[in-house]
Chain A
Amino acid sequence: MKQGRFGAYGGRYIPETLMSAVLELEAAYERWRGDPEFTGELADLLADYAGRPSGLYYARKMTADLGGAKIYLKREDFNHTGSHKINNVLGQVLLARKMGKTRVIAETGAGQHGVATATVAALMDMECEIFMGREDTERQALNVYRMELLGAKVNRVITGTMTLKDAVNATMREWASRMSDTHYVLGSVMGPHPFPLMVRDFQAVIGREIKAQILEAEGRLPDAVVACVGGGSNAIGSFYEFIGDESVALVGCEAAGLGVDNPRNAATIANGSVGVFHGMKSYFCQDKYGQIAPVYSISAGLDYPGIGPEHAALHDSGRATYVPVTDAEAVDAFAYLSRLEGIIPAVESAHALAWVRKAAPLMGSDKIIVVTLSGRGDKDVAAIARYKGVDLHE
């Protein structure tokens, strides 16, 4: 892998001031990633603290209702803090501690990554500051309080669109001003090398478990693995183990907001073009002068104008397929799974469920779909109520 590239994508496009921090991180990751001391500690934390392995649940009622492929849900919503984000955060904060860092900073969109970072910072006695767009702090007020409860300082970002993209900008600026004691816990498979590779490695546990669990349950590989994609960490975590298994279709579901033809969407592969931003070369929603577009999705976690570089490469090669899913479809799927299976999914994950609702009936009953439920939907209940015009006070 040359300079952290996935085909033409990835790289390390950051200010000179940050280069030493990123090179230090790369060296530390190379030093520790295969060290039994590190992998052993991480495995223990994933098992005893995060609660892994997460279940693979056969959604009997959903399967019967859709009348096509068998549907399994990979239950990342079971994890401590309620989403897949903890997998990556445990790895990075443990690594930061090995590097002698005493402070962690992170961006967050929906608040799930911020909560996970605040949680692990509390566990490992790290000082913690979270950067969150003001619009998201309003959409996800409960998560803001949750992070503060865990001892983190939450900084409301009031620049630009005041969402995830601006939270990343603010966290990068903060890191450039203080890096000797501080590690930036980037929350997705994006940013400069080594983040896309390292975060993917920490999330790849999802796909490894899926493979073992589906072989146990069905004695064969699934026909499709489906996940929602913002930056793309739960998706690449789900896909990675299956990239070499050509029979397994890999489907990433992007947030199309009000629709791919409406400017208010965040469907990067559907609407974006190649650019360089947030440290990486990849696809971005942007105008013809390279100004990053103010994207929109009901899901704060998918409300991001880019996609991780490994996804860009998987798209170009055709190995993975990326499909747009609208707010309305996701909100329907949110209610659907809640009523049918008694599982309230994160609105992010509901994007993947929405695609499965369309695809499963077109597939034979001998087919198998695994869809990753990246997180639980408790955090979204108030926002969904608002979307449906219900006046709800948290």
Chain B
Amino acid sequence: MNRITEAFRRRKALIPFITGGDPDMAVTEELIYALVQAGADLIEIGVPFSDPIAEGPVIQAADERALRAGCTADKLFALVAKVRRRTDIPLLFMTYLNPVFTYGGRRFMENCAASGIDGLIVPDMPWEERGELLGDCAACGVTLISMLAPTSAERVRRIAAEAEGFIYCVSSLGVTGERREIGTAAAEIIARAREVTNVPCAVGFGISTPAQARDMAALADGVIVGSAIVRLIAEHGAGGAEPVREFARELRAAIDTGKEY
């Protein structure tokens, strides 16, 4: 059993997202340790891309900051290798297909495996196009995460049946970003997915408060929180680790106790 699957066994998973290299590599390293201490179960690290079409304004801005600060895939591989000496937490890269394709799929996965990246999320590579990276992922032992959306309809069963690691369930239409209210679409997707697979389902897109994390955790196996954390980093810059740790602790507590903190 790999680290990703293991992470979902003991409790509802808290999966924070940060953009790698925002505002710089040193802060990204601090943020990873802070999130581990606050009780994260897996961490998603965004490899910044110039044109992230699935992201809302908060993460778009983070990608721009990271790229301006000189973040590259190679620097992130080096950072992950360094972090791996201190933590076993499952780490995933979330990025777009072009940075991986241009780097070379096989070389990218080899570096993922060597540095200690467990899985990869590529939001602009749907199920039909997964052949672009699936072979390289499999050869290097990197789990390719499948995504489901409220519009997946009859595609849910086909995609879920082949899913590995966990299934990333998009909570609602649109792009990433904080939402005041999150509908119930995720519950329907998860119910359908569970008819064909035991792979855990995590919900993301829009979850930005402890109360929302609690509500989504009640119907899923994990919750993904991105923009709300990235916004804290944007506000606090180099001093972002402390407020992010505090916020992640609140998310953890709300998920575990079912109460809002």
Contact = CB atoms under 8 A, between A and B. Distances in A.
B51 A290 contact: no
B166 to A, nearest CB: 15
Interface in A230-282: 273-279
B154 to A, nearest CB: 9
Nearest to A178: B173
A20 B153 contact: yes
Given A159-B60, A291-B50, A292-B51, A12 B98 contact: no
Contacts of A11: 129
Interface string A104-130: 000000000000000000000000000
Given A160-B51, A177-B173, A291-B99, A16 B128 contact: no
B147 interface: yes
Contact of B50 (A15, A19, A292): A292
A8 to B, nearest CB: 11
Interface string B63-80: 010010000110000000
Contact of A290 (B102, B149, B150, B175): B102
A59 interface: no
Given A16-B127, A19-B152, A291-B49, A286 B175 contact: no
A13 B51 CA distance: 14
Interface in B224-247: none
Interface in B84-142: 97-103, 123-129, 132
Contacts, number: 117
B126 A15 contact: yes
Contact of A14 (B72, B126, B173): B126
Contacts of A12: 126, 128-129
Contacts of B150: 17
Contacts of A278: 51, 53
Of A17, A159, A165, A286, most buried by chain B (CB within 10 Å of CB) is A17
Contacts of A277: 51, 98
A179 interface: yes
Of A18, A169, A273, A276, most buried by chain B (CB within 10 Å of CB) is A276
A339 interface: no
Contact of B175 (A13, A176, A275, A276): A176
A179 B151 contact: yes
A172 B49 contact: no
B102 A16 contact: no
Interface residues of A, number: 37
A220 interface: no
Contact of B152 (A20, A172, A284, A288): A20
Interface string A1-39: 001000000011111111111000000000000000000
A279 to B, nearest CB: 8
A169 B51 contact: yes
A203 B73 CA distance: 40
A248 to B, nearest CB: 34
A17 B129 CA distance: 14
Contacts of B132: 276
B53 A172 contact: yes
Contact of A16 (B57, B73, B97, B148): B148
Given A276-B101, A276-B132, A16 B147 contact: yes
Contact of A20 (B99, B151, B170): B151
Interface in A135-184: 159-160, 165-166, 169, 172-173, 176-179
A275 B101 contact: yes
A274 B51 CA distance: 16
A288 B124 contact: no
Contact of A13 (B64, B67, B125, B155): B125
B147 A290 contact: no
B50 A160 contact: yes
B117 to A, nearest CB: 16
Nearest to B132: A276
A14 B174 CA distance: 13
B54 A13 contact: no
Contacts of B72: 289
Contacts of B73: 289
Contacts of B129: 3, 11-13
Given A12-B128, A12-B129, A15-B126, A288 B102 contact: yes
A11 B129 CA distance: 8
A274 B64 CA distance: 23
Interface of A: 3, 11-21, 159-160, 165-166, 169, 172-173, 176-179, 273-279, 284, 286, 288-292
23 contacts: A3-B129, A11-B129, A13-B125, A14-B53, A14-B124, A14-B126, A16-B159, A16-B170, A17-B174, A19-B126, A20-B149, A160-B64, A169-B53, A172-B53, A173-B174, A176-B174, A177-B175, A178-B173, A275-B101, A278-B51, A279-B124, A291-B99, A292-B98
Query: What 10 pairs between A and B have smallest CB-CB spacing?
Result: A290-B102, A177-B174, A290-B99, A20-B151, A17-B149, A290-B98, A291-B50, A16-B149, A276-B97, A16-B147
Given A20-B153, A159-B57, 12 more contacts: A3-B128, A12-B129, A17-B151, A18-B151, A19-B126, A19-B155, A159-B60, A165-B51, A176-B173, A275-B98, A288-B102, A289-B103
